Amino acid sequence: MIRLDKYLSDSTAFSRKEIRSLVKRRTITVNGNFARSADMKVNENADTVCVNGENIVYRKFIYLMLNKPQGYLSATEDDRDPVVVELIPEELKHFAAFPVGRLDKDTEGLLLLTNDGQFDHELMSPRKNLYKRYYAELDTPATEEDVKAFASGMHFKDFTAKPARLEIDPEDPSKVYVEISEGKYHQVKRMCEQVGKNVVFLKRVAIGDLQLDPALECGKVRELTAGELAIFGW
Ligand code: URA
């Protein structure tokens, strides 16, 4: 059981003050009866709460897929640059979702956003060993030698990358797919640089078995489906 004002402020954009006023104006019903007060207890799993006749299903957490455009920081706020949370539709902003991990400002593609700290923790955990798949365009064609270098685990000043997969587009070897299970800063770009190539375009296309929805336009956000959440055991 939780307080009515918590039920509604978790699930909607109404503030607690607005909820008190809605109760006074007799716009909220619980199981068909006018709510008595904002602090009355309701069962979030069994009671039917309506505002202006609209059924409000209780939910605390949100899980979003964003097709990130270039130019946005993977952050909740910044003084200079636009941030990815600005792309969340107005009606979902009150959930205060934040990005799960990071993509560089100039990287596009699949970025998850949530307000569920445990989900974030689970996905970011190195134990999870979750593969991330990127599509990259290089300034120089990739070679079979590069494939071997990626697979053997590269050494950097500050870390040794785990074996990674590089797949070359047979039609155009400057287009590649890279799969890494870590997420070190600029990792894909640094691995490409180590074999003498610069990344000129980078887009994340999958996280584990979750693919970026090809129907989701760049800059758009949608909720993950139950099936997509199940991929991560959620
Ligand atoms: N690797 C990079 O270099 N940049 C990203 O945004 C993600 C992975």
- Atom in ligand 1 nearest the alpha carbon of residue 180: 8
Distance of CA 108 to the CA centre of its chain: 13
pLDDT score of 68:
98
**131 is written with which tokens?**
């593969």
Q: What is the pLDDT of residues 66-88, one digit of tens each?
A: 999 999 999 999 999 999 999 99
> Taking residues 131-139, what's their average pLDDT?
98
User: Are 182 and 102 contacting, i.e. CB atoms less than 8 angstroms apart?
Assistant: no
Please count the CA atoms within 13 angstroms of the CA of 213 that sit on its side-chain side.
17
Helices within 73-151 (DSSP H only): 117-124, 144-151
User: Are 23 and 39 contacting, i.e. CB atoms less than 8 angstroms apart?
Assistant: no
pLDDT score of 111:
98
Dihedrals phi, psi of 211, to nearest 5 degrees:
-90, 150
The residue from 10, 47, 104, 169 that is catalytic is 104
What pTM did the predictor assign?
Answer: 0.92
Dihedrals phi, psi of 174, to nearest 5 degrees:
-85, -5
pLDDT score of 129:
87
Pocket of ligand 1 (CB under 6 A): 103-104, 107, 186-189, 202
Give the closest residue (by CA) to ligand 1 atom 2.
186
pLDDT score of 133:
98
Task: Look at residue 126 and tell me whether its pLDDT is greater than 90.
Answer: no
Helices within 82-231 (DSSP H only): 117-124, 144-151, 187-194, 226-231
* Strand bridging mode 108-114 / 199-207: parallel
Give the end-to-end CA distance of the chain in Å, rounded to a whole number: 23
Task: Look at residue 115 and tell me whether its pLDDT is greater than 90.
Answer: yes
> Taking residues 28-36, what's their average pLDDT?
98
- Rounded to a whole number, what is the largest CA-CA distance in the chain? 72
Q: What is the pLDDT of residues 178-191, one digit of tens each?
A: 999 998 999 999 99
Q: Would residue 104 show up in a list of annotated catalytic residues for this protein?
A: yes
Task: Look at residue 213 and tell me whether its pLDDT is greater than 90.
Answer: yes
| Distance (Å, whole) CA 74 – CA 106 | 10
| Distance (Å, whole) CA 133 – CA 3 | 43
Give the closest residue (by CA) to ligand 1 atom 4.
186
Q: How far is the CA of 74 from the centre of ligand 1 (A)?
A: 12
- Tell me the pLDDT band of 127, cut-offs 50, 70 and 90: confident
Q: How far is the CA of 103 from the centre of ligand 1 (A)?
A: 6
